[in-house]
Amino acid sequence: MITREQTRQVRVGGVPIGGGAPIPVQSMTNTRTEDVQATLAQIRALADAGCDIVRCAVPTAEAADALSEITALSPIPVVADIHFDHRLALAAIRAGAAKIRINPGNIGSAERVAEIAEAAGRAGIPIRIGVNGGSLEKELLAKYGGVTAEALAESAIRQVELLHGMGFFDLVVSVKSSDVRMNLTAHRLLAERTDHPLHIGITEAGVSQAALIKSAMGIGTLLCEGIGDTIRVSLTGDPVKEIAAARDILRAADLLPGAIQLIACPTCGRTKADLTAAAEQIAGALAPIEKERIRARAARPLTVAVMGCAVNGPGEAAHADAGVAFGDGRAVLFRRGEQVGTVAAEHAADALLEIVRELSM
């Protein structure tokens, strides 16, 4: 079991972050926020995919105005992403944003931050301090000779201390870089210096398989060290794809309540069944079952094993909650360590799924 860093808890709408709460998945719309219908359509698609919190860019007064309707109709809490103009943060708070993200590298003077903190405090919403390697303060770039993990962490801590001095403590902190090693070091430094919940991710990860692997390395490593209270996978393109990736990372780290872990044999020359077809059929059928379990926050995870030969098959299947070990034309079924039957190979997938459904009730 992973021992998570103990952090304070804040609430974004009805979603808790930190303090040992389940780790919420976040994403960000890439529609023009001024286009209310397009933005709401994307938010609904994200929510349906399992997104817990969504962020919208607020670059203009028109976007801030649109946020009123978006926050009123969104099925999940909406965070306003603010850069350069603190007045947009104030407008977003009036529009019903559940959290405000500000960037120390471009939000401006302490007086502007104080105005945001006062308004957020009155509204009872948190502020996310979002440091990014691409917009770090000039004095820190000069001090450290460029973007470094130490510079990222210092930027965040300086903003935390500034807000503490203003009497504002309802904070989430993030530092993001596209460099995995730098990102890891910066978050480790932060975890040592603050107990505010951390929003983690690899920014500008890229596209396709490489971006998924980069995100999994950066986010997964931190989660396995107990660091991170909410996550966002940053992929170029349709943000809905980010949700499946985030869920996969949380599942792999055993941090997704209700998840189903599928263990499947990679196959070799000993395999005598069409294991690929069976595993794909089972994976497809498990997806809606898992979705309902996650929605219900099922406390006990389930492990399902689909194995292809007599070497590791019976052992792996017996250690799973539900398992099947294929042989030559037959398959042995297991339920929480006990062998419960043998069926023809062509019926094994359906029989295994029946066991899973029983265990999920």
Bridge-based pairing state of the strands 302-307 and 260-264: parallel
Average pLDDT over residues 34-59: 97
Read off the pLDDT of residues 55-74 as tens digits, 9 standing for 90 and up: 999 999 999 999 999 999 99
CA angle 60, 91, 171 (to 5 degrees): 105
Check whether 325 has a pLDDT greater than 80.
yes
Predicted model pTM: 0.92
Edge-to-edge strand order for the sheet containing 322-326? 260-264, 302-307, 322-326, 330-335, 338-344
pLDDT of the residue at 312: 80
Per CATH, the homologous superfamily of domain 260-360 is: Sulfite Reductase Hemoprotein, domain 1 (3.30.413.10)
Q: Is the dihedral of CA 108, 114, 115, 118 positive or negative?
A: positive
**Nearest CA among 69, 78, 58, 72 for reference residue 15:** 78
> Where are the chain's structural domains?
9-252, 260-360
- Helix (H) or strand (E) run with residue 135 in it: none
Strands 230-232 and 25-28: parallel
Question: Does the pLDDT value for residue 2 go beyond 70?
Answer: no
pLDDT tens, residue by residue, 169-209 = 999 999 998 899 999 999 999 999 999 999 999 988 777 88
- The pLDDT tens digits of the residues spanning 211-234 come to 999 999 999 999 999 999 999 999
pLDDT band at 270 (very low <50, low <70, confident <90, very high): confident
Give strand pairing partners of 10.
17
Q: Which CATH superfamily is domain 9-252 in?
A: Dihydropteroate synthase-like (3.20.20.20)
- What average pLDDT score do residues 304-328 get? 89
